[in-house]
Chains A and B, each alone.
Chain A
Amino acid sequence: MEKFIRLTGVAAPLYRPNIDTDAIIPSREMKRVSKEGLGEGLFADWRYSDVAARVPNPDFILNRPPFEKAPILIGGANFGCGSSREHAVWALKDYGVRCVIAPSFGAIFQGNCVRNGILPLVLPEERVAALANAADPRPVTVDLEALSLTMPSGEVLTFAIPPADRQMLLEGLDPIGVTLKRLPAILTFEAEHLRRHSWI
């Protein structure tokens, strides 16, 4: 998995509560058997005025300079709620987004981000609102080692993230590889578990 250590870039405001994963990538856009190319379907129903013809909607934030290639999104509370589709995260990543700042996240989406090298960054609601309202075209810097967010003004905010998530992102770990190191313990557990519950 790609590591996440430090990121400098523009943050695009998309500050609405409950942006669900159907909005991030509609079901029609995820009929693929690979993870590649899903960026085209990112926010498809909002981003295009004609989805089939891929005509950009000029009002949508990611179609407005300087936010077209923003590597950071500023979302509202409960960002990524709804469907478990990891396609939402693959679409963000394929588009070039590596960090989403929001007051809170849908739980499955948050886990999916961490497993794909995208940082789900939680800040208090009023901070996120201020960031979004400012819609500053200048870059900010996210530093996961220092747990800091440096604003265009030079102001530095700090944030928290579960240590396990931080480690996974910083080291770009392959969780399956890590778990398989515990295979003997899994096999021992499984044998006893199935002995006690033989019908499972």
Chain B
Amino acid sequence: MGKPRTLYDKIWDSHVVHRQEDGTCVLYIDLHLVHEVTSPQAFEGLRMAGRKVRRPSATLAVADHNVPTSHDRLAGIKNEESRVQVEQLAINTKEFGVDYYDMSDIRQGIVHVVGPEQGLTQPGMTIVCGDSHTATHGAFGALAFGIGTSDVEHVLATQTLLLKPSKNMRITVDGELPVGVTAKDVVLAIIGKIGTAGGTGHVIEFAGSVIRGLSMEGRMTVCNMAIEAGARAGLIAPDETTFEYLKGRPQAPKAATWEQAVNWWKSLPSDEGAVYDREVVLKAEDIAPMVTWGTSPQDVLPITAAVPNPAEETDEHRRAAMERALKYMGLTAGTPLDAIPVDKVFIGSCTNSRIEDLRAAAKVVEGRHVADGIYAMVVPGSGLVKEQAEAEGLDKVFTAAGFDWREPGCSMCLAMNDDKLKPGERCASTSNRNFEGRQGPGGRTHLVSPEMAAAAALTGKLTDVRTLN
């Protein structure tokens, strides 16, 4: 027996094609997901160099970032630039022989919802995409991370990447989550604790009884935001929950191969005694429903807290950043967070647009109505999520309450399509980034869970969902 290894070490080791003297490795990539915004220049690069896609069958393309979410979208994308990007993806995938789910395909949706839903995302794989939220797929015990377009081209041409191994970090969340506290609150609490650069240079393995107890949807929410802590990737050891989710999915292994695959997957969890470069521990009981107050995901507090006072911050750089954030957010120190009124509510994004997220939000909404003057939207993560939600009658719950029920896409998470905030508008959002201008120039974002977003829509202000029940 060799040295005990982590889940990350095992996946890494099993994909090294070649190791250079300085430690840089040629790493084999099992699955490459492609979308319309970060791929056109990569396909163009291949074309210019006369190169092909090395393994089209390991590549899947879907348009998500700037597709409209309006019900008339199949009549054509009105925004010229968006239309060109989406059309170019269709042209490129056809020319290079890559599978493509277009807007008319029920399987179309946010790339990080589609991969798992189709059973393409599997334990032990290496998965990349020209999108930082590729970390989502780590929920299956796959090493999954975002890459730039030069690397998209590199993977298309070679099915490999040049990379140095990251350090191992383990974040353990033990105990029992209080009522009203979700996977989103867990990951926001983690980012609040270690900071937006806390995971830099590391791959984070999330562990502990709370993580074990999460559904696959919840695990995806946690891993999705590993990048918001600066980590290369997030990982969760595969277990029965993982296998149960995967079994029977269109692209999952079948029959005898299924048994073989499960046997291998069971060998992947970190060995006893494996050493981590950094360990962080959180207690579930200390976590409350969270909400961000500033312009970085680390600017986060329990909903029961108040807007922090920069004057109490001793670090001068941190103080300046806080002052700038409060000015941008239009907030005054000391204001209770649950007294902050919102204009819009967004339920969607690769963080929180899966069926379980929609069920949780619908449960809060049922029998109630969106507050006067509030615009609230639900954007399912994929056509299949939308179909499932409609089969369960969730769309009726939302529309009866005054929500707008839309077509799948990234939507107001990054405001590349028409779904955006106007300057000064404030939004309770289930997305992942509260950066300045992220949801529209001058827009103000408060990151929350689906339940908390639903609660904010009903009251018209940031609200502790626990007080509604």
Chain A residues engaging chain B, CB cutoff 8 angstroms? 16-18, 20, 22-23, 26-28, 30-35, 45, 51, 76-78, 81-87, 89, 104, 106-108, 111-112, 115-116, 129, 162-164, 175-176, 179-180, 182-183, 185-186, 189-190, 193, 197-200
B200, A107: Cβ atoms closer than 8 Å: yes
**Distance (whole angstroms) from the CB of A13 to the closest CB of chain B:** 13
Q: Is the CB of B108 closer than 8 A to any CB of chain A?
A: no
Most chain B beta carbons < 10 A, residue from A16, A17, A18: A18
Stretch at the interface among B38-46, B306-314, B335-343, B358-366: B38-46
Q: What are 13 A-B pairs at a CB distance below 8 A? A: A17-B321, A27-B65, A28-B415, A31-B85, A32-B40, A32-B85, A82-B435, A84-B130, A86-B130, A111-B148, A116-B150, A175-B162, A199-B252
- B87 closest partner in A (C-beta): A33
Chain B residues engaging chain A, CB cutoff 8 angstroms? 14-15, 17-18, 20, 22, 24, 26, 28, 30, 37-38, 40-41, 44-45, 49, 51, 55, 58, 65-66, 79, 81-82, 84-85, 88, 122, 124-125, 130-132, 146-151, 153-154, 157-160, 162, 164, 196-197, 200-201, 227, 230, 232, 252-253, 257-258, 260-261, 264, 296, 317-318, 320-321, 324, 414-416, 433, 435-438, 441-442
Instruction: State A51–B435 Cα separation when bound (angstroms).
Output: 17
Instruction: State A112–B148 Cα separation when bound (angstroms).
Output: 6
B26, A31: Cβ atoms closer than 8 Å: no
- A167 closest partner in B (C-beta): B22
Most chain B beta carbons < 10 A, residue from A85, A104, A183: A85
Residues of A within 8 Å of B318, CB to CB, are: 17
- A111 closest partner in B (C-beta): B148
A199, B260: Cβ atoms closer than 8 Å: yes
B22, A198: Cβ atoms closer than 8 Å: no
Instruction: State A175–B162 Cα separation when bound (angstroms).
Output: 8
- A200 closest partner in B (C-beta): B30
**Distance (whole angstroms) from the CB of A183 to the closest CB of chain B:** 7
B81, A27: Cβ atoms closer than 8 Å: no
**Distance (whole angstroms) from the CB of A107 to the closest CB of chain B:** 6
Residues of B within 8 Å of A81, CB to CB, are: 196-197, 230
Instruction: State A190–B321 Cα separation when bound (angstroms).
Output: 48
9 further A-B contacts with Cβ under 8 Å, apart from A176-B49, A200-B58, are A20-B433, A30-B37, A33-B40, A84-B38, A106-B200, A116-B150, A129-B317, A176-B45, A199-B260
